Amino acid sequence: MAFTRYTFVTFAVLALLGIQICVSEINRGDFPNAFVFGTASSAFQFEGAVKEDGRGPSVWDKFSHTFGKVIDFSNADVAVDQYHRFEEDIQLMKAMGTDAYRFSISWSRIFPNGSGAINQAGIDHYNKLINSLLAKGIEPYVTIYHWDLPQALEDKYNGWLSPDIINDFATFAETCFQKFGDRVKHWITFNEPHTFATQGYDVGLQAPGRCSILLHLFCRAGNSATEPYIVAHNVLRSHAVVADIYRKKYKSTQRGILGISFDVIWYEPATNTQEDVDAAQRAQDFQLGWFLDPLMFGDYPSSMISRVGNRLPKFSQAEAALVKGSLDFVGINHYTTFYARNNSTNLIGTFLHDSIADSGAITLPFNGTKAIAEKANSIWLYIVPQSMRTLMNYIKQKYGNPPVFITENGMDDANSPFISIKDALKDQKRIRYLSGYLSNLQASIKDGCNVKGYFVWSLLDNWEWAAGYSSRFGLYFVDYKDNLKRYPKQSVEWFKNFLKPTK
């Protein structure tokens, strides 16, 4: 359908209604019987043990050991040591009453060089993890790629910039299907492709740290005007090939489903002018639409095609046919909401010739000097619960109401040396956040949105990429000064009560 000024006004009204409707406390009994609740993680942020049992280095190992790339100068060599402590952590999940655990498989644990010989120790580890989860009645939801590209492939052919990666990723994914697919029924091929395409290849703030901002003063190599689009294109082609392999060779016997997790900030027009309404839609086109439009409709959004021009790769007819319809479900990682304003001056484009400038939208959590809502710790994370409902209705209307899993949602507190553990466990803001977002998610289901599950980010405080250990997203507090001991925050008790079976 076409998205007009009136569509966004409708969504805005719906959001306001959400504030009024979603004020009472809810629990799992307010959700459909088969609805799944879980927590989420990723291998690089949780596992540690980066040099154990044959694991090869990833681009994030190199990036995190490069001076100035991580705010607190930390690395994930140990992380929260889940590689050794997964049994303990599974018991924490079981005690909370969660149904599922979303985790990722480290590519370089399975293929230390990205391709070639399989590392059996890596297979053995994930078999133990999966079996331990199932023994406790917790369903594994497995992300195949969560940003930790084997460094060997980056060195060999520049990783995601080369079409060579399609075959290597397909081999890795198929190995996962072969080794774990008898027990894993929910696969996520990629986590947040938009994030690693833009952060890794446009602004250079994440691995592998490529960009051309300020004539390479910030990054040694890269081309911000072209590389994020090339990376995204190769990701979509890789996903489509893997989906085709799974459906032809494994789905009939393993009976699993396969999707992608997309990062989605909701964008509210800064004003009700047509220019800002259009800017909000373009901002969404250059975020979610960039990936979901090809998967649903067979091509990129028209705004991208017209504004990016010949820098935007094109699908062949055969590729478009393979990409379209290659999702069984849509994963959504939703945390926050920004305002979108039309970039009428194009000052951004003067300094940046990239996907940010191409969108023609200025997106910020401020309208003038006024913040959109209460802030969490991260500079980008503001608490706007009603947008969960608005976003779900947007997906329902634009994309034909596909099955959706909220594969990440949560907020962070600061890791302050001046706050005692006792006080750090009092996370009432997180409880308000979870209650508000879950209430609006439940309201969206009443609206008819086809939402199937919800995963909190995250089970534990962990290593948060370029933020290092400065940011605490966990339901459980991890004491980095005392053997990584896990302590339940107040949100654990809240979530445990929320998840109690209802009569």
- d(Cα 55, Cα 408) in Å, to the nearest integer? 27
408 assigned to active site: yes
192 assigned to active site: yes
CA-wise closest residue to 426 among 497, 376, 494, 491 = 491
CA-wise closest residue to 315 among 237, 262, 228 = 237
Residues 6 or more apart whose CB falls under 8 angstroms from that of 409 comprise 333, 334, 335, 388, 434, 437, 454, 455, 456, 457
- d(Cα 474, Cα 460) in Å, to the nearest integer? 4
Residues in the chain: 503
CA-wise closest residue to 343 among 264, 272, 268, 270 = 270
- d(Cα 85, Cα 92) in Å, to the nearest integer? 11
- d(Cα 55, Cα 121) in Å, to the nearest integer? 9
CA-wise closest residue to 265 among 281, 282, 288 = 288
- d(Cα 384, Cα 266) in Å, to the nearest integer? 9
Catalytic annotation, pick one of 139, 268, 408, 464: 408
Helix/strand/coil (H/E/C) assignment for every residue in 77-108? CCCCCHHHHHHHHHHHHHHHCCCEEEEECCHH
CA-wise closest residue to 215 among 230, 225, 229, 228 = 225
Taking a C-beta distance cutoff of 8 angstroms, is the pair 168, 114 a contact? yes
- d(Cα 403, Cα 257) in Å, to the nearest integer? 11
- d(Cα 367, Cα 348) in Å, to the nearest integer? 17
- d(Cα 500, Cα 275) in Å, to the nearest integer? 47
Cis, peptide link before residue 57, omega less than 30° from 0:
no
Supply the DSSP symbol for 289.
I
- d(Cα 429, Cα 434) in Å, to the nearest integer? 9
457 C-beta neighbours (distance < 10 Å), count:
24
The rounded radius of gyration (Å) of the Cα atoms in the chain is 21
Element (H, E) at 104: strand 100-104
Q: For residue 199, give both structure tokens.
A: 């952060």
Catalytic annotation, pick one of 154, 192, 268, 319: 192
Q: What residues are annotated to the active site?
A: 192, 408
